[in-house]
C-alpha cells in the first residue's frame, strides 16, 4: 500500500509554501477528496501567513546587516578622530600626567614585561551574517599581537583546525554547512607565545 510522503523536515520555508499551494491546487475540485480535513482554506491561510513572516524576517535581516555596516563605519570614523585628538593632547601636554588627565584621556601605564597570556573572555557569536558564516568577537587581551581561532566538527573527540589568525579581537569564520554544529576556541598570541585557550563553545552555522 502506497503511503503519503511529506518530507517536511528537509524542505525550506519556501518549498513548504510551494507544497501547500500545490496541495490546494491538486485537491480543489478533485472528486477523490470531497471533504479535505483540514479545509483547503486553512492550508492557504497558513501558507500565506508563513510566506509573509518569511519575507518580513528576510527584510529584517537585510536591514540589520545594513545598520550594522553603517554603525561599524561610524565607529571607525570616531576612532580616527579620537586618535588624532590623542596625538594633539600628547604634544600639547608635553607628557605631563596632570595635563593629560585634565583633557579627559587616561594616562597609559609604563610598559611592563608580560608573561603568558590569559584566555580571551566575553566571547560572542554574531548570527547576522550570511549562511555558512559566523562572526565571533571577544574582549582584547593585553599584550596580544594576534589571535588564533580554531574550529572543530561535533565528534567523539574534537579535532581542531585553525580557521582565522586576526590581529583584532574579532573574526569571520566561513565555509561551513548551514545547520551543522561546530565547536570553537580562541587563544591570544604574544611575546611569550600562544596563551591559554578559551573553553570550547558550540554554535550551529546559520
pLDDT reading at 112 higher than 80: no
Cell numbers representing residue 63 in the block: 536591514
- If asked whether residues 126 and 100 sit together in one domain, one would say no
| Domains contained in the chain, number | 2
pLDDT reading at 157 higher than 80: no
- If asked whether residues 74 and 38 sit together in one domain, one would say yes
What's the confidence (pLDDT) of residue 156?
A: 67
Instruction: Write out the H or E segment, with its range, that includes residue 172.
Output: strand 170-173
Tell me what the pLDDT averaged over the chain comes to: 90
Check if the beta carbon of residue 49 is closer than 8 Å to that of residue 17.
Answer: no
CA torsion 195-196-202-206 (nearest 10°) is -20
3-state secondary structure of 78: helix
Q: Is residue 52 part of a domain?
A: yes
- If asked whether residues 77 and 29 sit together in one domain, one would say yes
Q: What is the pLDDT of residues 138-154, one digit of tens each?
A: 999 988 999 999 999 87
Q: Is residue 4 part of a domain?
A: no
Average pLDDT for 71-84:
92
Q: Order the strands of the 134-139 sheet from edge to edge.
A: 121-126, 134-139, 170-173
Structural domain boundaries enclosing 57? 9-108
Question: Could you give the percent of the chain with pLDDT greater than 90?
Answer: 68
Check if the beta carbon of residue 150 is closer than 8 Å to that of residue 185.
Answer: yes
Residue 25 CB: number of other CB atoms within 10 A?
11
Q: What is the pLDDT of residues 117-135, one digit of tens each?
A: 999 999 999 866 578 889 9
- If asked whether residues 136 and 104 sit together in one domain, one would say no
CATH number at residue 126: 2.60.40.10
Amino acid at each position: 500500500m502506497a503511503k503519503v510522503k511529506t518530507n517536511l523536515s528537509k524542505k525550506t520555508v519556501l518549498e513548504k509554501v510551494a507544497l501547500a499551494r500545490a496541495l490546494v491546487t491538486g485537491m480543489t475540485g478533485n472528486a477523490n477528496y470531497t471533504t479535505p480535513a483540514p479545509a483547503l482554506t486553512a492550508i492557504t491561510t497558513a501558507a500565506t501567513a508563513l510566506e509573509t513572516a518569511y519575507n518580513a524576517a528576510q527584510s529584517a535581516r537585510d536591514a540589520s546587516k545594513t545598520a550594522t555596516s553603517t554603525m561599524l563605519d561610524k565607529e571607525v570614523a570616531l576612532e580616527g578622530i579620537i586618535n588624532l585628538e590623542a596625538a594633539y593632547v600628547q604634544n600639547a601636554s608635553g607628557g605631563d600626567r596632570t595635563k593629560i588627565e585634565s583633557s579627559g584621556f587616561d594616562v597609559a601605564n609604563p610598559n611592563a614585561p608580560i608573561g603568558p597570556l590569559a584566555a580571551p573572555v566575553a566571547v560572542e557569536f554574531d548570527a547576522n551574517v550570511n549562511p555558512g558564516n559566523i562572526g565571533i568577537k571577544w574582549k582584547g587581551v593585553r599584550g596580544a599581537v594576534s589571535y588564533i581561532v580554531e574550529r572543530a566538527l561535533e565528534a567523539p573527540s574534537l579535532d581542531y583546525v585553525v580557521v582565522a589568525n586576526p590581529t583584532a579581537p574579532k573574526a569571520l569564520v566561513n565555509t561551513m554547512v548551514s545547520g551543522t554544529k561546530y565547536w570553537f576556541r580562541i587563544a591570544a598570541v604574544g611575546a611569550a607565545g600562544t596563551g591559554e585557550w578559551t573553553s570550547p563553545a558550540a554554535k550551529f552555522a546559520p
